[in-house]
Structure 1
Amino acid sequence: MFKVTFSFEDGSMVETFANAGDNLLEVARSANVAIDAPCSGNGACGKCRVQLKSGELESKKTLHISDEEYQAGWRLSCCSKISADVNVLVPDIASAYKSRMKVADLSSKEEIAIFENAKSDIQLAGIELKNSLEVVDVLMDVPSLDDTMPDNERLTRALRKYLNINRVRIPYVVLKKLPDVLRENNFAVKCVIRATSDDMYVYDIFGKDEDVVIGGLAIDIGTTTVSAVLINMENGEILAKSSAGNGQIRFGADVINRIVESQKPGGQKKLQDAVIKETINPMIHEMCKSAKFPKDHIYRMCVASNTTMNHLFAGINADPLRTEPYIPAFFKTNSLFASDVGVDINKDAHIIMAPNIGSYVGGDITAGTLVSQIWNRPEFSLFIDLGTNGELVFGNSDFMMSCACSAGPAFEGGDISCGMRATDGAIEACTIDKETMEPTYKIVGDPGTKPVGLCGSGIIDVISELYICGIINPKGKFIREGKRIKHDKYGMGSYILAFEEEAGSVKDVEITEVDIDNFIRAKGAIFSAIRTMLTSLDFDVSMIDDVYVAGGIGSGINMQNAVNIGMFPDIPIEKFHYIGNSSLTGAYLMLLSTPAEKKTYELAANMTYMELSTVPIYMDEFVGACFIPHTDTSMFPTVMEEIQNR
């Protein structure tokens, strides 16, 4: 048995013990030490770098670590085995996905504008903003020797009289409070209830003079990032907003790796704890602290996520999703409560879930489709959600078709050597001077923040600029030389955005030919899915009236740059609209409005799902799209014109 110490840049450390031959990454996972491993530890991504400070590791050499870095003690934790007592440094970049939780500044109008606009749009579509939760004042007769009715029956009778509903349910947590609250307030109280036409549920009871706000929680559980808003259920006011990396990411960047991990002994509980105990509950704590709001006053929650995340969140076996015939345990369910899964809000809070429509088209897409409102327009519109899976919906008020493609984690920084999600230090926008090849970039965070890596929107910009400036060819290979271009001993080229001394990390911030190749495949998956779906309907790109792009990959996407690299079709730029995290916005609308919730179920039921893997032309389309912008450049006339004019 050997002692393993994980040290961090802030001076803290975690100590644990391991046997000889144990894998260092697995030891870290067992000790709940966050080390980013998008490839789930197969040595492919190079993100799980740690530095040997003392002791010994049995660690093989990999292409991700240069000879100089190896001499300086850098190792991949997934390729290292315990052979003695050891102390390793876990750099911030390796655990950034977990450590950089962000609670939004709601004084910024941009943070809440998207939700206010969504409320207005949904009302204009004829959907009422109302739900079944309310606070009611209840006045009861004080008991006496002539009136010996028990407290629960007294409250039940008063509520029945107030709302003319026969069935009233009082749970244990309310029953426990009942004697004290009634007598302290002379039997004049406030109740938080959920009322339907034939049923009433009492969530809580308070004194008549207490100021009671009904809280609701909307959550988008992304494969890489989790986002949430805490709201006032009576008027939709945003009380707090937060985002954090999904703690599950250390078990792999994609859903397949996580499903595989969940099948190991104790894996199902481990994956559920990673998203609830390590991610969602800390976010709830920070939002409630920020808003000075009691977490027990959150009485309803809405989750929008892909089909796999839904299963892992609920602690339900997801393995059938990855094996033919790809059947989930559920598409929609109304049977989940906070106490069932350990979400740290009111124990009786009902959890509603945006419905899935396929094994790989989930509730995040149905919620996003609600927000895009392509169902409410006669024009043909395309909705695209950029994430680990690229999901698309095409249609209008008469029909909608959806499909999903495996884009991989590149849009959220995975599979990219310096990739990261859109948190502090991420380059989110970039231009490059054609003559000098010098970059100018915008960084997420406060002024003066040093660059650490590239998020999705920044990667799109950099690759577009490299291509338009003639620095790389259509295959993504470097064809110019300069101080910003370097080649390793294997001949692989890279472009340096920030040298080590300028960066906020332990190495240059760069994008390599391997990174570009990974991203070309990701963008190729999106474009080929668009083409395949349109072709199956006998449409072409000229018939698209509007394109709605969603996904939390930065503060916005430069649509022209996305067209330049062949990710989106070459149609007029004014047809593109970036709508941000539509999954979270959709969850917010479903939470606030029962009619919006029902509309989302209706959209899911009426949407046609196309399985791309069964369409013969898809692979041909994909191969053709794995160039910049495409093997058929006639499909991108404006891009070719820009290259000639620049």
Structure 2
Amino acid sequence: MPKITFIQEDGKELIFFASSGDTVLEASRKANVPIDAPCSGNASCGKCKVRLIKGELESAVTRHISELEYADGYRLACVSKIHEDVEVLVPDISSAYKSRMKITDLSSENELAIFEETRQNIKAAGLDLKNDWHVITCFMDIPTLDDTMPDNERLIRAVKKVTGFPDIHIMIPFSVIRILPDILRNNEFTVKCVLQKKKDCVILYGIYPEHINPVIAGIAVDIGTTSVSALLVNLENGEILAKSSAGNAQIRYGADVINRIVESCKPGGIQNLQKAIVDETINQMIDEMASFAQISRNDIVKMCIASNTTMNHLFLGINADHIRREPYIPCFFELRNIKASDVNVHIHPNADIIFAPNVGSYVGGDITAGALSSMIWNKEELSLFIDLGTNGEIVFGNKDFLMTCACSAGPAFEGGDISCGMRATDGAIEAVKINEVTGESVLSVIGEMKTKPVGICGSGIIDLVSELYRCKIIDSKGIFIDGNNRVTRDAFGMGTYMLVKPEDSGTIKGVFINEVDIDNFIRAKGAIFSAIKTLTESLDMKMSMIESVYVAGGIGSGINIKNSMNIGLFPKLPADCYHYIGNSSLSGAYASVLSDKVFKKVVEIGRNMTYIELSSNPGYMDEFMAACFIPHTDINLFEEK
């Protein structure tokens, strides 16, 4: 069996004995070595580059590796077969996730204001943001030979006296029992307790010295297919204590849910995918946030997760294969009584993990949580809620009805599947304007004034494609029209437009977009528009009847609505109908972790949604094909009204 040595950029090495004929990507997955592979190994994305240091690989020539790169040892892991001992250098995958993925910028005051606005809107709708968590101080008599009551009963009696619940059952988890003898005696039997009052019992989650002011913390998490965002919050007052965002480490098993479900069906696949999201992503984010807020992970006593149906299953280690097979049945819509210790999440082991409910196989808790934030469930007017992510999910309706569907948009709106795509952080181009006469570009780059562009985020991609079409640099199919000096073609005939030259950028390759990128984007925008059209027409309604559109997701707050309509992403409506509401999934999870009443409303919203399965809709594919042009094959849909 040939030996492959994986060398990481920090100098660490891992030796694995592969089967002859295995690709480097297959071997890396068996060895649990992360290599980014959004297309899950079909050689279409070009992201799984490794560098051959020693030995030879049977490697096919692809358009993703230039002659210069090939000579320097670069290979695509998915098409490089191992027949002899080799050494390969693999990239720092965590940095790759962070640089390439588009994640909502939670450090922005504008983004944080969205969470406060969500709280205010929910209050205005009559929902109470209070919860059942309390901190009390208990004074106990010190044991004597005449008073030999055990520590746990002594504490229970004190808790009942302070709370005024003499007949209610008090539960003390083992994590508290284990430290109880020492903490009582070290503090002369006067302690503070963190407890949760439920209908039939009181659960004592933590015990502290009297001089300590414990923080009762909760975590709200939005698990996206491409990226993960989280908030650490104070459950007593709603204050955001810390925030974190990262790429979903599952992406090395495929950029979309179907590829990940396929991967999960392989031996050890479910465990690998669960480990990627729990251990490699969420637990690291928890460590980061707890350290920043200067609290113990044990102080985190509640967690709310809002994610799509597949992500929910893979997070829990549940077989998701039936989601992708007709009749597309998930294991659950609603789920209760999951503890942090059940899934190895590094917070209080007895902390409840609550899930915003799923609605269908491809409409999950991220949409029910997002629908809560959009407030369309509380409005008279007909409204549209659109979440632009790896899957494009749409909700249409008002306080009387809610219809929903999902389409596979791919990760283009989050910077994935785009050669220079990235999240909306420093160095990302978020807006583009091209001079029709000179061809010069005016760019808006996130960050300091002197920040050089290193990539382009979702809102910038929308602008760029719109401007390329407006200036007749691409045709309606997204193919470059010959004659522009910024367009080059490689040996395979593929056109590339250089937006920022290497010397003017923060990367060695510059910032560019090619015809494959544009095709991926056109398919993504076509999926969204055709889903909107199919959803409204299924109710015998016209898109012109929509009065408000709420746009959410990790696309960036700088989204240009006019350009979005010009390329056929959104329906042609008055621009003031559109509202960007940020990461609505995380906003909904944030409100749900703070309040049981809000969470009950999210569950109610989910139960009231009617789900349409587009894959079984006879007209959807025709609508999709018609929308895979700029702006559309039916130009009348985008004429000025």
TM-score of the two chains, using structure 2 as the length reference: 0.95
Distance 1:397 1:17 in 2: 58
2:603 pairs with 1:604: no
Q: CA offset at residue 435 of structure 1?
A: 1.7
Number of the residue aligned with 2:131? 131
Number of the residue aligned with 1:149? 149
Distance 2:546 2:398 in 1: 11
C-alpha contact 1:100 1:423 (8 A) present in aligned 2 = no
Matches within 5 A, 1:343-422: 343-422=345-424
Distance 1:491 1:103 in 2: 33
Distance 1:420 1:27 in 2: 28
Distance 2:91 2:351 in 1: 39
Q: CA offset at residue 107 of structure 1?
A: 7.6
Given residue 277 of structure 1, which amino acid in structure 2 is its aligned partner?
D
2:635 pairs with 1:633: yes
Q: CA offset at residue 497 of structure 1?
A: 1.2
Distance change in 2, residues 1:91/1:142 (3 Å): closer
Number of the residue aligned with 2:469? 467
Distance 1:278 1:479 in 2: 44
Distance change in 2, residues 1:13/1:103 (3 Å): farther
C-alpha contact 1:48 1:94 (8 A) present in aligned 2 = no
C-alpha contact 2:263 2:269 (8 A) present in aligned 1 = yes
Q: CA offset at residue 95 of structure 1?
A: 5.2
C-alpha contact 1:189 1:206 (8 A) present in aligned 2 = yes
Counterpart of 1:181 (choices 158, 180, 183) is 183
Distance 2:256 2:125 in 1: 36
2:302 pairs with 1:303: no
C-alpha contact 2:102 2:457 (8 A) present in aligned 1 = no
Query: In structure 2, the residue corresponding to 1:213 is in which secondary structure?
Result: coil
Number of the residue aligned with 1:644? none
Number of the residue aligned with 1:587? 589
Q: How many residues align?
A: 638
Distance 1:266 1:110 in 2: 42
Distance 1:136 1:193 in 2: 8
Number of the residue aligned with 2:334? 332
Distance 1:551 1:41 in 2: 27
Distance change in 2, residues 1:104/1:584 (3 Å): closer
Query: In structure 1, the residue corresponding to 2:179 is in which secondary structure?
Result: helix
Number of the residue aligned with 2:78? 78
Given residue 35 of structure 2, which amino acid in structure 1 is its aligned partner?
I
Structure 1 gaps of 5+ residues are 642-646
Number of the residue aligned with 1:239? 241
C-alpha contact 2:387 2:552 (8 A) present in aligned 1 = yes
Q: What per-residue deviation string (whole Å, max 9, x for no partner) do you get for residues 405-450 of structure 1?
A: 1112221223323333434543322222212222232334555444
Q: What per-residue deviation string (whole Å, max 9, x for no partner) do you get for residues 390-411 of structure 1?
A: 1000111111111111112221
Q: CA offset at residue 31 of structure 1?
A: 4.3
Distance change in 2, residues 1:198/1:79 (3 Å): same
Structure 2 gaps of 5+ residues are none
Given residue 532 of structure 2, which amino acid in structure 1 is its aligned partner?
I
Q: Identity of counterpart residues, as a percentage?
A: 61
C-alpha contact 1:97 1:244 (8 A) present in aligned 2 = yes
Q: CA offset at residue 71 of structure 1?
A: 3.0
Q: CA offset at residue 122 of structure 1?
A: 0.8
Q: CA offset at residue 75 of structure 1?
A: 1.5
Q: What per-residue deviation string (whole Å, max 9, x for no partner) do you get for residues 72-106 of structure 1?
A: 33321111122344343445689510578999998
Distance change in 2, residues 1:421/1:103 (3 Å): closer
Distance change in 2, residues 1:198/1:540 (3 Å): same
Q: Is the deviation greater in 206-215 or in 28-37?
A: 28-37
Matches within 5 A, 1:203-242: 203-242=205-244
Given residue 56 of structure 2, which amino acid in structure 1 is its aligned partner?
E
Distance 2:591 2:617 in 1: 35
Number of the residue aligned with 1:35? 35
Distance change in 2, residues 1:240/1:153 (3 Å): same
Number of the residue aligned with 1:48? 48
Number of the residue aligned with 1:17? 16
Q: CA offset at residue 260 of structure 1?
A: 1.0
Query: In structure 1, the residue corresponding to 2:503 is in which secondary structure?
Result: coil
Given residue 533 of structure 1, which amino acid in structure 2 is its aligned partner?
L
Q: Is the deviation greater in 33-42 or in 303-312?
A: 33-42
Distance 2:357 2:565 in 1: 31
Query: In structure 1, the residue corresponding to 2:277 is in which secondary structure?
Result: helix
Q: Is the deviation greater in 417-426 or in 215-224?
A: 417-426
Q: What per-residue deviation string (whole Å, max 9, x for no partner) do you get for residues 500-557 of structure 1?
A: 3334444343211222112111111110111111111121122111100001123431
Matches within 5 A, 1:613-624: 613-624=615-626
Counterpart of 2:457 (choices 447, 455, 458) is 455
Q: CA offset at residue 3 of structure 1?
A: 5.1
Q: CA offset at residue 35 of structure 1?
A: 2.3
Q: Is the deviation greater in 495-504 or in 477-486?
A: 495-504
C-alpha contact 1:403 1:529 (8 A) present in aligned 2 = yes
Given residue 340 of structure 1, which amino acid in structure 2 is its aligned partner?
D
Q: Is the deviation greater in 45-54 or in 358-367?
A: 45-54
Q: CA offset at residue 126 of structure 1?
A: 0.6
Given residue 542 of structure 1, which amino acid in structure 2 is its aligned partner?
S
Given residue 480 of structure 2, which amino acid in structure 1 is its aligned partner?
F
C-alpha contact 1:496 1:509 (8 A) present in aligned 2 = yes
Distance 1:626 1:108 in 2: 34
Number of the residue aligned with 1:563? 565
Number of the residue aligned with 2:110? 110
Q: CA offset at residue 461 of structure 1?
A: 1.1
Distance 2:103 2:177 in 1: 35
Q: CA offset at residue 46 of structure 1?
A: 1.2
Q: Is the deviation greater in 379-388 or in 86-95?
A: 86-95
Q: CA offset at residue 15 of structure 1?
A: 3.4
Distance 2:103 2:613 in 1: 38
Q: CA offset at residue 348 of structure 1?
A: 1.1
Number of the residue aligned with 2:120? 120
C-alpha contact 1:570 1:636 (8 A) present in aligned 2 = yes
Given residue 581 of structure 2, which amino acid in structure 1 is its aligned partner?
I
2:167 pairs with 1:168: no
C-alpha contact 1:103 1:286 (8 A) present in aligned 2 = no
C-alpha contact 1:478 1:493 (8 A) present in aligned 2 = yes
Q: CA offset at residue 62 of structure 1?
A: 1.4
C-alpha contact 1:103 1:287 (8 A) present in aligned 2 = no
Distance 1:491 1:455 in 2: 26
Distance 2:607 2:547 in 1: 24
Given residue 398 of structure 1, which amino acid in structure 2 is its aligned partner?
D
Given residue 381 of structure 2, which amino acid in structure 1 is its aligned partner?
E
Given residue 471 of structure 1, which amino acid in structure 2 is its aligned partner?
I
Q: Is the deviation greater in 611-620 or in 436-445?
A: 436-445
Distance change in 2, residues 1:86/1:446 (3 Å): farther
Distance 1:446 1:31 in 2: 41
Q: What per-residue deviation string (whole Å, max 9, x for no partner) do you get for residues 194-219 of structure 1?
A: 10232111111112221111011111
Let me know the Cα RMSD of the aligned residues: 2.3
C-alpha contact 1:382 1:544 (8 A) present in aligned 2 = yes
Q: What per-residue deviation string (whole Å, max 9, x for no partner) do you get for residues 546-587 of structure 1?
A: 100001123431111111110000101111111111111110
Given residue 29 of structure 1, which amino acid in structure 2 is its aligned partner?
R
C-alpha contact 1:34 1:98 (8 A) present in aligned 2 = no
Distance change in 2, residues 1:106/1:436 (3 Å): closer
C-alpha contact 1:102 1:242 (8 A) present in aligned 2 = no
